[in-house]
Amino acid sequence: MGHVNFQRARTDEQRNERRRQILGAAAAMLAEMPVAELSLTALSRRVCLAKANVLRYFDSREAVLLELLEAQLAECVTELESAPAPDGSTRERADRLADLFAVSLAARPMLCDLVASQATVLERNISVETAIRHKRTIRESLRALVRLVRRHLPEFGDEDASALVETVMLTAVAAWPASRPPRALLAAYEADPSLAALRVDFADAVRRSGEVTAAGLLARRR
């Protein structure tokens, strides 16, 4: 297991490297399993450290996953920012932006799983210091998304752009678990095709949410 040979990181560089190793291991595990199945015990085994030693670098399992969420969201924002602002009518630009959000989020299942667990699980077992750092980091990513919306839709002010971002992200939170039904429901859909309409398509839900919200906000401005 490697626990006996553990040497505490002494310098800031060593501590940062150890934190990167733990985050990297958590990311690799989330490529194999959902957030709910990733335990601190399993993570400790993956990085060959005792749980007490992992907790030298993070408050808890949840603190590890929140930092991973922050990194994943920042990568998503960077990708979205690289997309050229489209031409066309307001409606066309709004629809393309909604599609951009849907496609980018759907391509990042790890981010979606983390975001879906953020408020209900991951923010429930952290220190105040971690909470402050986490919320400040997320705030910067959300501000970047507001700027992105305004670049694509200069008709929007900050308030409307914020409302669009918030609605899209809240839709993602709800739609992600709903779009991942357990085996019993998959079997039910197969046994009774008339029930298939109840199954949620994640990208479609996010896209539709963005389109309708943008249209509604634009109509209210008029």
| Domains of the chain and any CATH numbers | 1-57 (1.10.10), 60-221 (1.10.357.10)
Which pLDDT value is given to residue 149? 96
Which pLDDT value is given to residue 4? 36
Average pLDDT across the chain, whole number: 92
Q: What is the mean pLDDT of the segment spanning 96-110?
A: 97
Residue 120 pLDDT greater than 50, yes or no: yes
Are the C-beta atoms of residues 60 and 134 closer than 8 Å to each other? no
Residue holding tokens 């450290």? 49
Which pLDDT value is given to residue 156? 95
Q: Where are the alpha helices (DSSP H) in the chain?
A: 12-30, 40-46, 51-54, 61-81, 90-106, 109-118, 128-152, 158-178, 183-191, 202-221
Q: Which is more confidently placed, 5 or 142?
A: 142
Provide CB contacts within 8 A for 58, sequence distance 6+.
Answer: 19, 22, 64, 67
pLDDT tens string 72-85: 999 999 999 999 87
The pLDDT confidence band at residue 3, using thresholds 50, 70 and 90, is: very low
| The residue count for the chain | 222
The pLDDT confidence band at residue 8, using thresholds 50, 70 and 90, is: low
Give the whole-angstrom CA distance, residue 152 versus residue 178.
29
Residue 2 pLDDT greater than 70, yes or no: no
Q: What is the DSSP string of 203-217?
A: HHHHHHHHHHHHHHH
pLDDT tens string 135-166: 999 999 999 999 999 999 999 999 999 999 99
- What pTM was computed for the model? 0.87
Which pLDDT value is given to residue 36? 92
Query: Cα dihedral angle (198, 114, 71, 58), rounded to 10 degrees?
Result: 180
Residue 11 burial (10 A CB sphere; 0-12, 13-18, 19+): exposed
User: Buried b vs exposed e over 102-118: b needs ≥16 C-beta within 10 Å?
Assistant: bebbbebebbbbbbbbb
Report the amino acid identity of residue 44: S
Share of the chain above pLDDT 70, in %: 95
Give the whole-angstrom CA distance, residue 155 versus residue 157.
7
